[in-house]
Structure formats: C-alpha cells, structure tokens
Amino acid sequence: MQWSDEGLVLGARRLGETGVVLELMTAAHGRHLGLVHGGRSRRMQPVLQPGNRVRAVWRARLDDGLGSFAVEPLDSAAARLIGSRLALYGLAHAAALLRLLPERDPHPGLYEAARVLIDHLADAAIAPPLMVRFELAVLAELGFGLDLSACAATGSNAYLAYVSPKSGRAVSAAAGEPWRDRLLALPDFLVAREAGGTGATPTARTVRQGFTLTGYFLDQHVWAPRGLAPPEARERFVALGTADAG
C-alpha cells in the first residue's frame, strides 16, 4: 500500500531511540499516522514541528497498518509562528480540533481551512475571527453544523441576530426579542449582507460572541459527550484574541 499527499503536521511522539510517530492532517487522506525513521535527527526535527506543511509518502504492507512516512518540507510555518503566543495557542487548539476527526476520514475542505488559518495565526486582527469560522467548520464536519441562513421562526433571512441553543438555527431580531435572554448572540460578521449583516470588520466584542456561540455547541455535542473539558489552549487563545472586549 502506498500513497503520496501533502499534509499539516499536528504532532509527533517518540518511538524508540531515533524514530517518531508522526500525525498529519492530509489533504486527501484525512488525519493519518505513520512512523518516521530517523525523525529525531537534527535534520528532521525542524521539519516535523506542528504547523509545518510537508509532502508525505505513506507506505505499509497492509492498509490498516501503522505504516511509515517519508516526508519533505513544503512550508515551515512553525519558524514564523514561534514568536507569537497567540499563534502558538491557536496552533495547539486547531490541532486538538482536528484530532476530533476520525482517523483516515478525508475532509479536504477542512484541510484547506486549516491551511488558511495557520497562514494567518500570527495576525491578531485576522486569526480570532478565522478561528471562529474554523470551529464552525469543524462542527459541520462532525455532523453538528449550525444553520445560519434563515430565521427558524419565520423562514426569513432578514436581520438575523440570534441562534437557538436547542436547534442551532438562526433567529431574527424581531422574532427573538421576547426570548433574547435564552438565545445566543449571532455576531454580525457571521451574517451575510442579504440576511441583515453589516459586513463590518469583526471587533473584540463580536469575536467573543462568536467564540461563545461555537463554544456552546462544541461543549454540547463534542467535548462533554466525550468527557472532555474545553481545551486550555482555546481559553488562552480567546483571552488574547479578544483582549479589548468590553
């Protein structure tokens, strides 16, 4: 068995004296593990840092075996991100989200979203709202996507302002007003212009609203059922990324 693909390094753990088991999020083969012989060498250690993009060839005797990777670097994102706490927490959180996916289950759209996110993790203005969208994408890939296209009560797509915590569907400002204390805020940067969105640049306040929204559904459908707590890396990323929120 053999295939070649590009992938993002999620992490690596030691195996024996010189090898590592590498975990990649690949474009066409999903989250995949493989042994890298000599992965702890001086030449390979910088290549196998989380966030880096590599070209990988996977080989195994049997399709369900661990197999081995031969990798070569394509983009050394880790070197660019090492000086940013926001980026490092974001990278750790993104990797944790991708580990929620079943192994070897292809998610090409999510792979591309992860690439874009990693490219912008050091940008404090772009990374936080991108992470909100990435969390929404992970929820959708896991089967818990939110429907933000129209009001659950009226069917209209005008002036969407809330999300129902029960259905995960959007609610308009007028329909949701009597129950606003029971609904989750829908930040305007997630609302299309034709649905009442302003197209305004995300602010610290609206980004925090976005993380409150995605965090609720991640905990409801993903973390709590698996006995997991919200990752500390996420909490630190949110704190740094919304530091100006009032």
Q: Residue 4 maps to which CATH number? A: 2.40.50.140
Q: Quick one: 137 and 234 in the same domain?
A: yes
pLDDT of res. 206: 95
What pLDDT does residue 158 have?
85
246 belongs to a structural domain: no
Name the stretches of the chain with pLDDT < 50: 246
Concatenating the DSSP letter of every residue in 115-134 gives HHHHHTTT-TTTHHHHHHHH
Residues 231 and 141 reside in one and the same domain: yes
87 in a structural domain: no
For residue 66, CA distances in Å to 1, 5, 88 come to 11, 16, 28
Query: What pLDDT does residue 157 have?
Result: 86
Mutual angle of helices 85-98 and 232-241, in 10-degree steps: 140
Which of 13, 42, 77 is the endpoint of a domain? 77
Q: What pLDDT does 63 receive?
A: 86
In a domain? residue 203 = yes
Residue 117, domain member (yes or no) = no
Count the neighbouring beta carbons within 10 Å of the beta carbon of residue 169.
17
Residues 40 and 133 grouped into a single domain: no
Indicate whether 140 and 233 sit together in one domain. yes
Question: Do 60 and 149 share a domain, yes or no?
Answer: no
> What one-letter code names the amino acid at 220?
Q
List the one residue out of 89, 69, 72, 93 whose CA is nearest residue 81.
Answer: 89
Domain count for the chain: 2
Is 22 a domain residue? yes
**Which of 77, 110, 141 marks a domain boundary?**
77
Instruction: Give residue 246's pLDDT.
Output: 46
The Cα 69–Cα 60 span in angstroms is 9
226 in the same domain as 133: yes
84 in a structural domain = no
Q: Is residue 175 part of a domain?
A: yes
Residue 200 lies inside a defined structural domain of this protein: yes
pLDDT in tens, 76-85: 999 999 999 9
Domain's final residue, options 50, 77, 104: 77
Where are any strands of DSSP class E within the chain?
A: 2-15, 19-26, 30-36, 53-59, 68-75, 160-163, 170-172, 184-185
Q: What is the pTM of this model?
A: 0.94
Same-domain pairing of 131 and 237: yes
Same domain, 143 and 234: yes
End-to-end CA distance of the chain: 55
Write out the residue range of the structural domain in which residue 205 sits: 127-241
pLDDT value, residue 144 = 97
